[in-house]
Amino acid sequence: MRLSSDGAWLEGVRRVLSPNCDERPGGCEVGLVVVHGISLPPGEYGGDWIDDLFCNRLDASAHPYFATIAGARVSAHVLIRRGGELVQYVPFDRRAWHAGRSCYAGREACNDFSIGIELEGQDNEAYEDIQYRRLAGLIRLLRTRYPAIGADDIVGHSDIAPGRKTDPGPAFDWTRLRTLLGAA
């Protein structure tokens, strides 16, 4: 896994460009990774529904759940599918719209200074071994570009939006990720 020469893109991964992003505020250094969990429809894997959500083309009539999220304007930088495939939606130097109302270490608006990584999965189902390996590899790579991301600066969506979000959920093995990152 490698970054493009400008550091904005992963080389050799599928790109699906999301319109749901904008410029980061001036002088805002990336110093946080937010891990998310997603499946669309809930509990189902595969297909193009996540791409459709992040690109504002989700068909609200295709599933009853979709009607509840069809107007959402959201994105993430990267999705790691169950089989380990990476999909990048937003370049790392831009602000993806993944965190919503959020706060980390006293700083609000986490989208401004974070990178959002979605894992295809759900709160109470174990994530796949390949997803942990890909996530750890991606975080190691991002740390070469963004050295402000410290060992404690890798959090779940639930950590920055408690009471509002639960992902990546209790099935996510933080100890396993820290071990893969060499920080256990």
Catalytic residue set: 118
| 62 beta partners | none
The two three-digit tokens of residue 106, written as one number = 């006293």
Q: CA 17, 20, 23: angle at the middle one, nearest 5?
A: 95
Give the helix/strand (H/E) hosting 138.
helix 129-145
The two beta strands, 14-15 and 94-96, are unpaired
Report the SS3 class of residue 151: coil
User: Strands across the sheet with 32-38, in order?
Assistant: 14-15, 86-88, 78-80, 114-120, 32-38, 154-156
